[in-house]
């Protein structure tokens, strides 16, 4: 499972297409409309949606290269 590192300021994710103001209240998800990714705000676990996977994988790659993501069990 992949997650956004705990020591990362979430504002930093705005340059990767995440909109921190727009959350899905039911699950408290942060949606990256341009990035194609979602993550849970409370535990920062990344969700890869089934639609728009190419964009989501490209964004995930960029987040990994920027050292913003870690693998957790």
Would the pLDDT of 27 be above 70? Answer: no
pLDDT-based confidence at residue 26 (cuts at 50, 70, 90): low
Radius of gyration of the chain (CA): 11
The residue-averaged pLDDT of 8-29 equals 79
Please spell the DSSP secondary structure of 14-61, one letter per residue.
Answer: GGGT--TT-EETTTTEEEETTTTEEEETTT-BEE--STTHHHHHHHHH
Cα gap 4→31, rounded to integer Å: 13
The residue-averaged pLDDT of 45-52 equals 80
Residue predicted with more confidence, 9 or 20: 9
Residue 45: alpha-carbon gap to chain centroid: 8
pLDDT-based confidence at residue 36 (cuts at 50, 70, 90): confident
Domains, the chain, in order of start with CATH, read: 2-67 (3.30.310)
Cα gap 63→24, rounded to integer Å: 21
């Amino acid at each position: 499972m992949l997650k956004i590192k705990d020591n990362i300021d979430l504002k930093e994710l705005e340059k990767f297409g995440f909109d921190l103001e727009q959350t899905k209240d039911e699950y408290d998800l942060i949606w990256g409309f341009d990035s194609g990714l979602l993550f849970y705000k409370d535990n920062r676990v990344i969700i890869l949606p089934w639609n728009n996977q190419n964009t989501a994988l490209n964004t995930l790659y960029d987040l990994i290269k920027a050292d913003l993501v870690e693998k957790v069990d």
